A and B are shown apart, each in its own frame.
Chain A
Amino acid sequence: MSAVIVRRLLAFLATLLATSIVVFVVLEVLPGDPAQVMLGVDAEPDAVARLREKLGLERPTTVRYFDWLLGFATGNLGESYTYSVPVLELIVERLAVTVPLALIAMLLTTIIALAAGVFAAAHHNRPGDWGVMLFAQLGIAMPNFWFGILLVLLFAVTLGWFNAGGFPGWEDDALASFQALLLPAVSLAIVQSAILARVTRSSVLDVLREDYVRTARAKGLSKRAALWRHGLRNALIPVVTVMGLQFAFLLSGTIIIENVFYLPGLGRLIFQSISQRDLVVVKDVVMLMVAKVVIINFVIDLLYVVIDPRLRTAR
């Protein structure tokens, strides 16, 4: 097990290093000067030059790359050009929105998808199955921001139960903050659960055709009991894989949903940083996201082992 972890760790570091080079090079060739963006239409050329100097943009490329890498390794993520505050502070603030939103959305997704997927598989080729698949098809086809707008129109504009958007902050009003995340989480969960429900259904159907399920039926278990006792656990492996991908996606922030509900999440931070050429923020956030995906994949691998005992001895 420890060898696996060491191998994982090395792969993790190699991934980060490769990412750092790609991110740095891409941002290097991207047109647009951060100093010019900050100073705007009326800036005088000497003011732009002075700011470039101050931001350290005039130093050689390799110096800037290693400086950044060193800073990253020592936990000093630098200061945002735009906001003039430490990047770490910005990211932590945004995570207070993005992480809970991703968790709520993922929870809703899991509940809806597993129930609907298993139900559809159990009612294979019967009206219940068709019904679920119809809804799933609709859910996948429907853009989540459009569904979000519908939710706002119904629950905020017409009924007045919710605010149309915004985020009060946990320390101010935890209940209101939770409320602020519900509609966006539902908008996200509808699409995600439609995808996950289809995966669950086909995975359960596959498992139901396996020999061991037939054996279970042969020894007298009902179809339902065979499904719950023997089928479900095995069916979960592809489901958990997809869940991992979805969670990683949700944690990266969802620019469009954050715009619809004007939430100060990570997605909007990245979008804004790219358009304002706040290169420090872009580089740091992208690195953190890559790190996060690698970590989530690792956790998913560990989950496989928990779900499927056979994998414990395989390696």
Chain B
Amino acid sequence: MTKTFVVAVAAIIAAVGVGTPTLSATRDSVRLGMTLEPPVLDPTASPAAAIKEIVTNNLMEGLTRVSADGSVKPALAESWTVSEDGKTYTFKLRRGVKFHDGSPFSSADVVYSISRAMSPEGGNPGRNLYRAIDKVTAPAPDIAVFTLKNPFFTLPYVLALGDSSIVSEKTVPTNKTNPVGTGPFKFSRWVKGDRVELVKNQDFRDKDKIRLNRATFRFIPDPNAIVNALLAGDLDAFPLGVPTESVERFKKDKRFKVSVGMTEGETIVSINNGKKPFDDVRVRRALSHAVDRRAVIDGVMSGYGVPIGSHFSPLHPAYVDLTGLYPHDPAKAKTLLAEAGYPNGFALTLRLPPPQYARKGGEIIAQQLERVGIQAKLEPLEWAQWLDQVLSRKDYELTIISHVEALDYDRYGRENYYWNYANNKRIAELVVSADQAGSTAQRNAVLQDIQKQLALDAVNVFLFQLPKIGVWNANLVGLWENSPSPSNDLTDVHWTK
């Protein structure tokens, strides 16, 4: 009888299920998946990367934009010029641009948006990005002038980030739940916990180049569910965060394209430099020698991930490969430990936040440390605890974390950052000279000095650049392979058939 019921239930399931098309017939829409749901939809109000992944370049724009190859291109600004002394940037704005609510865009909105981003009351999470700006003025409706305290070479890049989105003063109070921008897509609605829907902005300046009419972002945290949703055709693309274990399977399936690119996430074993015995550079170097990056990448990311030797993205032109500085060498590690006064090793605690790279990576690294006599106790923490204990109170010895912001080397120059890095003043100086460098070559040279200094001091154990593993329908083109800044830019996305 139970059997009869199972059959009956299956029959009902079949009857209701059959006849509903799972593929949309018209190919002017796209359904993308993301692991995390954004808390709000205003990138100027919260640091969550998920906001930028939906909003930046799609709903909201900056004066400039980061393109797929990482270069900075015009967006709301048509062009810009830099004064001789590098302290004045003059942006020529596009005319005739309208916000989604119909109000016209002008230089007044630039002054408002950037001044708000700079002020402590504005609540912008990226306020530190604007450290070099003195003031922004609007001499004409289509001209915005940035006056800087010192030359700041990265300004056009900074203005492309989601934090620098140009918003209208009128809609700021409601942007968190109903974002209004100038981009090629308009906000349609947000079904909390499930999805965000966008529709094409028919008033967009280049609307003929935009080939999608609709885009849906769905939120699926469970790795198994991600794979099933792709296989069942519920999603057209999962651009970031496909479980590495499933990559081989998708590679064999002709329906899908697998893209393995890079994010801006440097995955590192953070060391509390202020705590004994980690204040001794020999101990930190020993840790670097003890860790086998390749084994970590293989074990944690199924081999996907580029090893790094300092805190810097291999995508950047100024990158230097420093992975050879501390090759995996347990014997050398033991010698260094003996020199530092720990011939028999010591015990430490490794505090692990929830991501897989940290939890799985912690187990592998603990084994590797054991081979040089260091006993690592693993302590899994949830996010809130990690932020509280490790980041705020600096109550930790070692932890594993991916620092996902682009060009975040400046953190090594901060006072009181959770690494307690002793040489931070030197880095702070270098950051200033990189900011103020007169040419790209000059600036890149300073950036290389920073990388070398960090590696030399073995501030942290630098593991690998977090990969951007995406899977999408083989007929879908135009999605980013790499992630030079957090965004799922849909401007060029379209179907080939």
A-to-B contact residues, CB < 8 Å: 31-34, 36-48, 50-51, 82-85, 90, 93-94, 108, 111-112, 115-116, 119, 128, 131-132, 135, 149, 152-153, 155-157, 159-167, 169, 175-176, 178-179, 182-183, 186, 259-265, 268-269, 272, 275-277
| Contact call B192/A166, Cβ cutoff below 8 A | no
Q: Complex: how many Å from CA A47 to CA B45?
A: 12
Q: Does B22 contact A (CB under 8 A)?
A: yes
- The interface residues of chain A lying within 8 Å CB-to-CB of B387 are 32-33, 36-37, 40-41
Main secondary structure of the interface of B (DSSP, over half): mixed
- The interface residues of chain B lying within 8 Å CB-to-CB of A131 are 2-3
- The interface residues of chain B lying within 8 Å CB-to-CB of A277 are 384
Which residue, of B2, B17, B20, has the highest number of chain A Cβ atoms within 10 A? B2
Instruction: Name B184-241 residues within 8 Å CB distance of A.
Output: 191-195, 218-222, 224-225, 228-229, 231-234
Given contacts A115-B5, A160-B233, A262-B221, A37 and B384 within 8 Å (CB-CB): yes
Which residue, of B40, B125, B401, has the highest number of chain A Cβ atoms within 10 A? B125
| Contact call A32/B17, Cβ cutoff below 8 A | no
Binds A, one of B74-82, B344-352, B388-396: B388-396
- The interface residues of chain A lying within 8 Å CB-to-CB of B452 are none
Instruction: Name B1-42 residues within 8 Å CB distance of A.
Output: 1-3, 5, 9, 13-14, 16-18, 20, 22, 37, 39-40
Q: List 25 A-B contacts (CB under 8 A).
A: A31-B385, A32-B385, A33-B384, A33-B388, A36-B384, A41-B387, A41-B403, A42-B408, A83-B39, A83-B40, A84-B176, A116-B5, A155-B17, A157-B228, A157-B232, A161-B13, A161-B17, A164-B228, A165-B229, A166-B229, A166-B234, A176-B20, A179-B16, A262-B229, A263-B194
| Contact call B193/A183, Cβ cutoff below 8 A | no
- The interface residues of chain B lying within 8 Å CB-to-CB of A40 are 46-48, 125, 387
Q: Could you list 15 further interchain pairs (A-B, Cβ under 8 angstroms) beyond the known A108-B9, A259-B225?
A: A31-B384, A36-B384, A38-B39, A39-B46, A40-B48, A40-B387, A44-B127, A82-B39, A111-B5, A149-B224, A149-B228, A161-B13, A161-B17, A164-B228, A166-B218
Q: Does B120 contact A (CB under 8 A)?
A: yes
- The interface residues of chain A lying within 8 Å CB-to-CB of B234 are 156, 163-166
- The interface residues of chain A lying within 8 Å CB-to-CB of B127 are 44, 47
B-to-A contact residues, CB < 8 Å: 1-3, 5, 9, 13-14, 16-18, 20, 22, 37, 39-40, 46-48, 120, 123, 125-128, 176-177, 191-195, 218-222, 224-225, 228-229, 231-234, 382-385, 387-389, 391-392, 401, 403, 405, 408, 411
- The interface residues of chain A lying within 8 Å CB-to-CB of B9 are 108, 112, 186
- The interface residues of chain A lying within 8 Å CB-to-CB of B13 are 155, 161-162, 182-183, 186
Q: Complex: how many Å from CA A263 to CA B387?
A: 28
| Contact call B388/A31, Cβ cutoff below 8 A | yes
Identity of the chain A residue whose Cβ is nearest the Cβ of B126 in the assembled complex: A42
Q: Complex: how many Å from CA A83 to CA B233?
A: 30
Q: Complex: how many Å from CA A41 to CA B55?
A: 21
